[in-house]
Amino acid sequence: MSHRITKKAKLAAGIYDFSIEHSTLPNFAKPGQFLIIRIDEKGERIPLTIAGVSKNAVRIIVKCVGKSTYKLATLKENDEILEVIGPLGNPSEIDFYGKVCVVGGGVGIAPLMPIIKALKSTGNKITTIIGASTAEQLILLDEIGKMSDELIITTDDGSAGSKGLVTHRLEELLNKGCRFDRIWAIGPTIMMKFVSAIALREEIPCWVSLNPIMVDGTGMCGACRVEVGGEMKFACVDGPEFDGRFVNWNELIKRLHQYQEKEKLSLELFKK
């Protein structure tokens, strides 16, 4: 059964917010889980984190980076997506921790929304740091601002908030004497690696949502294997969230780039 796009909005250049009709997923999805879509018969399966749910629809926020995400961006309201499978993966470990610092980079800000909402509802005090390359690429400021006790904005070029990376802002807070009981970070892998290095130094548990290449999303193909604490894990069924302090980041980054040449070629052919 295919799924109708009920809403589509452009949040920034190359970043789209979709609501997709689904009869079961909205009832079961929890913060931190993801879904896999296949646009049409010829489409590849792409994993996307659930950014929210409403009565009959699930929300995803997508950045165009390659053939499938560009193709998705060409769809309009009322168009159909062939397959939307989920919820997949384990939910975030939502609990009362005390003071939580949430760090979002680029489109990684989107999947943090349900997590912040749930952490807030369990009584945590939330400091959110969000970063993007430029002011134009900053998304969801209002929604995130309303949910957080404190919101810190940073851009690589200083066009909004202060100039620098999210890790600079986190270091500033720690240098000022702020203490956090948990960190949650979602964004580019390199960002999550450096946030996790700070967490390791400061001995703060740090949840990150890993985004290795996935195929089936159900633990059968092994494509998403990652090393965490010296053990092999499958991000789709054991994660996607892990304590970033124990992730073998260099191996993950190497594996993420393994099909780069083929992905580039595929996008060039699609754009022709």
Rounded to a whole number of angstroms, the minimum distance from the CB of residue 15 to ligand FAD is 8
Instruction: Report yes or no: 165 and 139 within 8 Å, Cβ to Cβ.
Output: no
By beta-carbon proximity to ligand FAD, the closer residue of 153 and 252 is 252
DSSP label of 59: E
Residue list 156-215, contact with ligand FAD (CB under 6 A): 211-214
Nearer to ligand NAD, 156 or 181 (CB): 156
68 scored as a contact of ligand NAD (CB under 6 A): no
> Binds 260, which of ligand FES, ligand FAD, ligand NAD, none (CB < 5 to 8 A, cut-off by type)?
ligand FAD
Is residue 87 part of the contact set for ligand FAD (CB under 6 A)? no
Closest to ligand FES by CB, 64 or 235: 235
The CB-side HSE value for 270 (13 A sphere, CA atoms) comes to 19
Among 29, 81, 107, 198, binds ligand FAD (CB under 6 A): 107
> Looking at residue 223, what DSSP letter applies?
T
Q: Does 236 participate in binding ligand FES (rule CB under 6 A)?
A: yes
The only residue of 63, 169, 182, 193 in contact with ligand FAD, by rule CB under 6 A = 63
Question: Could you tell me how many residues of this chain bind ligand FES (CB under 6 A)?
Answer: 12
User: In the beta sheet, which residues pair with residue 20?
Assistant: 5, 58
Residue whose C-alpha is closest to residue 180's, from 116, 97, 96: 97
Rg of the chain taking only CA atoms, in angstroms: 18
- Among 11, 29, 62, 144, contact with ligand FAD (rule: CB under 6 A): 62
Q: Which two tokens stand for residue 179?
A: 């203490």
Residue 231 identity: E
Q: Determine, following the binding rule CB under 6 A, whether residue 263 of this chain makes contact with ligand FAD.
A: yes
CA atoms within 13 Å, Cβ hemisphere of 242: 30
Residue 222 contacts which entry, ligand FAD, ligand NAD, ligand FES, none (Cβ below 5-8 A, type-dependent): ligand FES
108 binding ligand NAD? (CB under 6 A): yes
Distances from the Cα of 171 to the Cα of 22, 225, 244, 248, angstroms? 41, 31, 17, 22
> Which residue lies nearer to ligand FAD by CB, 60 or 147?
60
Phi, psi of 173 (to 5 degrees): -60, -45
Strand 46-49, strand 150-155: pairing: unpaired
Residue 15 and residue 60 in contact, taking contact as beta carbons nearer than 8 Å: no
167 binding ligand NAD? (CB under 6 A): yes
Which residue sits closest to ligand NAD, CB atoms considered? 106
Q: Is 224 in the site for ligand FES (CB under 6 A)?
A: yes
Q: Count CB-CB contacts under 10 A for residue 97.
A: 18
Residue numbers of the site for ligand FES (CB under 6 A)?
214-217, 219-224, 234, 236
